[in-house]
Amino acid sequence: MAAPTTWQFKEGVTPDAGSFVPAPKNSGELEQITGRPTTYWSDAIRRIRRNKLAVVGFWIIIALFVIAIFGPMVSPYSYEDQDLENTFQSPTLQHPFGTDQLGRDQMTRVMYGSRISLAVGIVCAALNFLIGVTYGGISAYFGGRVDDIMMRIVDILYGIPTLIIVILLTVLFKDKGVSPLVNVFIAIGLTYWLPMARIVRGEILSLKEREFALAAKTIGAPNNRILFKHLIPNAMGPIIVTVTLEVPSAIFTEAFLSYIGLGVSAPVASWGVLASDGTEAIRSFPYLVLFPALAICLTMFAFNFLGDGLRDALDPRLRQ
Amino acid sequence: MFKFILQRVLSMILVILIVASATFFMMRLLPSGPFSREKKLPAQIIKNLEARYHLDDPLWKQYVDYMGNLLRFNLGPSFKYTDRTVNNIINDGFPVSAILGVVAVILAVGIGIPLGIWGALKQNGWQDNLVMFIALLGVSVPNFIMAVLLMFIFALGLHLVPAAGWGSVRQVILPAFTLAGYPIAFIARLVRSSMLEVLRQEYITTARAKGLSERLVIFRHALRNILIPVVTVLGPLIAAVFTGSFVVEKIFAIPGLGRYYVTSINDRDYTVILGVTIFYSALLVFMNFLVDLTYAWLDPRIRYVERKVS
């Protein structure tokens, strides 16, 4: 769309001094900025709204939270009530997802499982945020030898597959008598902050050279204030993206651990436990593994969609 | 180049030593000893067992002995299966896991790269959307679900391949595809985005301006620069294939190292956990080293620069 110009030529005439016509009287108004000025965040929200997959992911996550909170309350069954006369029921109106080998309502168990998975996701995101951001921030801000030592530690931990560290920690804490769910929280929380620390470090390294950081320093702001009030808020975009993408891998790890028998165990219904129990009976009762599997995949999809959308919207380096 | 290799080898040894020590002390921290069974053993028997495995030595001596044995690649006996050593277990299980892993990596590279290129060449078309969707699917479906799904469809439903077991070529197909699922998705995404970036570069325009065919431009000029990011992620992807094998080997009843590892964890067979953890870490660190070498060989700019970010 061509903007109306404030000066025009007579048609078919080569421009010279006499070919100008007076500008319309309202020409000044046309140059005024009409749209509201956008900020980084409103820009990001606008962009993410246009990304259909990300919006779908967002609503799935909201729905999951609602189901996780209210589902088990509304359900007429409890996740651990056994009904040995009605074991291995196919899906019916009474039991939409069927019942398992002890006659427990599978739908209630899947809904209860969403509580565990989302709790793992939230706690790990929070720990990830606390440890990773602080670690990366301190390492980058102080630089020099501090940075060298702190990043060497990260490098070494990076060299070992995360899952092996998580498994070792789980074994350690399990034998110390920590409850399985807390155990999974600790193990995942203690290991999944590594990518976050690296990303925050990279961001802070460049941010700390910027003028506003220098300005804060010249007026005598203490280090922790500069780091936490000035630098880290400016790195929020990549941080949020990393957290969103770490949540599905935390949820996956919990399900994986429960699946191989290291995480929470029966009667508590984690999706990993349900999938593991269902696999045993896959030949005769495939629906038992179907619903927890769908639940895990849907959750992972939703978080990955949202994370991807957020990355496109928040990470300026990827803007086209 | 020599200095680069030396530096990497030294840091490799350091990492393996740290992992070995940390795991050793962690295993010794565990409150329930290796001989705590459901039925309590008489004190004298426990004492004899501890003497046999030198568990009554002071901790520092146990540590020095273990490290000494480690240098001779001797990982000690299994506590659970008295007639087997950790070396036996690795010798039995690793070749199986290695075959599976190599097939999975080949599948990942062989399918992931063409998928990514295809997506990039048809950017924003339906083909691109399809590739991106497959990629998100592959990243989002956990490997144990993928295993169950593939087994259900192709083995129990269509009877195309055996459901489980090990020994024939047909039995490799399902577990290898399961393990390759995540890497395929990851590589396809990576290749797509780096291809898009490379195609905008000027030397590609030059190549086209010379009148080269599109095939030559893509395969001769663009592909080489795409291989570099793919090589860098091979390290983490190999790690994903290792850890994926823990559950895939269990589901498909494959006698590989991953399954032994999980069994040893559930059995609390500490020496096996310790030995196999060290083995896995050493293997992965070594793979990362090979990846770094390949990387330096592919991209001469990296070779002489100190590996230090800013």
When the pLDDT of each residue in chain A is averaged and rounded to a whole number, the result is 78
Residues B31-57 have a mean pLDDT of 69
Tens-place pLDDT, residues B195-210: 888 888 888 888 888 8
What is residue B37's predicted lDDT score, i.e. its pLDDT?
59
* Residues B35 and A177: beta-carbon distance below 8 Å: no
Collapsing DSSP to helix, strand or coil, B18 comes out as: helix
Chain A: give the shortest CA distance to residue B247, in Å.
7
Contact A283/B246, CB-based, under 8 Å? no
| pLDDT of B46 strictly over 80 | no
Amino acid at A38: T
By C-alpha distance, which of B144, B267, B240 is closest to A259? B144
- The pLDDT score that the predictor gives to residue A18 is 67
Which residues on B lie below 8 Å from A172 (Cβ)?
A: 26, 29-30
Q: Which of B140, B143, B144 sits opposite A248 (nearest CB)?
A: B140
Q: Give me the total of CB pairs closer than 8 Å, taking one residue from chain A and one from chain B.
A: 103
Per-residue model confidence (pLDDT) at position B31: 60
Q: Is the pLDDT of residue A313 over 80?
A: no
Q: Which residues of chain B have a CB within 8 Å of the CB of A53? A: 136
**Exposed / middle / buried, residue B309 (Cβ in 10 Å: 0-12, 13-18, 19+):** exposed
Q: What amino acid is encoded at A55 in this protein?
A: V
Distance CA B179, CA A251 (A): 19
Residues of chain B numbered 125-184 and touching chain A (CB < 8 Å) = 136-137, 139-145, 148-149, 151-152, 156
In this prediction, residue A317 carries a pLDDT of 57
Question: A64 CA to chain B: closest CA distance, Å?
Answer: 16
Q: How many CB atoms lie within 10 A of CB A115?
A: 19
SS3 of B33-48: the string is CCCCCCCCCCHHHHHH
Give the model's pLDDT for residue A2. 47
The fourth-level CATH superfamily of domain A98-318 is: MetI-like (1.10.3720.10)
What tens digit of pLDDT does each residue of B125-149 get? 788 888 888 888 888 888 888 888 8
Give the pLDDT band of residue A320 (cuts 50, 70, 90): very low
The answer, yes or no, to whether residue B220 has pLDDT greater than 70, is yes
CA distances from A103 to A86, A241, A288 (A): 5, 42, 12
pLDDT of A93: 66
| Chain A residues whose beta carbon lies within 8 Å of the beta carbon of residue B284 | 159-161
Three-state SS at B41: coil
Q: For testing the chain A interface, which of B10, B189, B265 should be mutated: the one with the most A CBs within 10 Å?
A: B265
Three-class SS string for A4-59? CCCCCECCCCCCCHHHECCCCCCHHHHCCCCCCCCCHHHHHHHHHHHCHHHHHHHH
Domains of chain B: 88-306 (1.10.3720.10)
The whole-angstrom separation of Cα B177 and Cα B146 is 9
What is the rounded distance in angstroms from the CA atom of residue A105 to the CA atom of residue B16? Answer: 48
Q: Which residues pair with B77 in a beta bridge?
A: B85
Which residues in chain A (225-254) have CB-CB distances under 8 A to chain B?
A: 248, 252
Q: Is B196 on the interface with A (CB under 8 A)?
A: no
User: Residue A289: which of A44, A110, A114 has the closest Cα?
Assistant: A110
Q: How far apart are the first and last CA of chain B?
A: 21
Q: How far apart are CA A259 and CA B247, in angstroms?
A: 8
B15/A163 Cβ within 8 A: no
Output the CA torsion B10→B12→B18→B23 (10° steps).
-150
Closest CA to A72 of A136, A17, A119, A32: A119
Q: Which two tokens stand for residue A258?
A: 């429960």
Query: Is the model more confident about A39 or about A185?
Result: A185
The residue to which tokens 């699922």 are assigned: B181
Residues of chain A with pLDDT > 70, as a percent, come to 78
Binned at pLDDT 50, 70 and 90, residue B306 comes out as very low
Residue B75 has a CB neighbour count (10 Å cut-off) of: 22
pLDDT digits (tens, 9 = 90+) for B248-303: 888 888 888 888 888 888 777 778 888 888 888 888 888 888 887 887 777 666 55
Tokens 């500008």 belong to residue? A23
pTM of the predicted model as reported, rounded to 2 decimal places:
0.78
Which tens digits make up the pLDDT trace of B79-108?
777 778 888 888 888 888 888 888 999 998
pLDDT average, residue stretch B2-26: 82
Q: What angle do CA A70, A72, A77 make, to 5 degrees?
A: 145
From chain B, pick out residues whose CB is under 8 angstroms from the CB of A156: 14-15, 18-19
For residue B76, the one-letter residue type is G
Q: What is the pLDDT of residues B150-191, one digit of tens each?
A: 888 887 778 777 777 777 777 778 888 888 888 888 888 888
Say yes or no to pLDDT of A103 above 60: yes
Put simply, the answer to whether A293 touches B145 (Cβ < 8 Å) is: yes
Cβ A138 vs Cβ A149: under 8 Å: no
* Alpha carbon distance A218, B128 (integer Å): 51
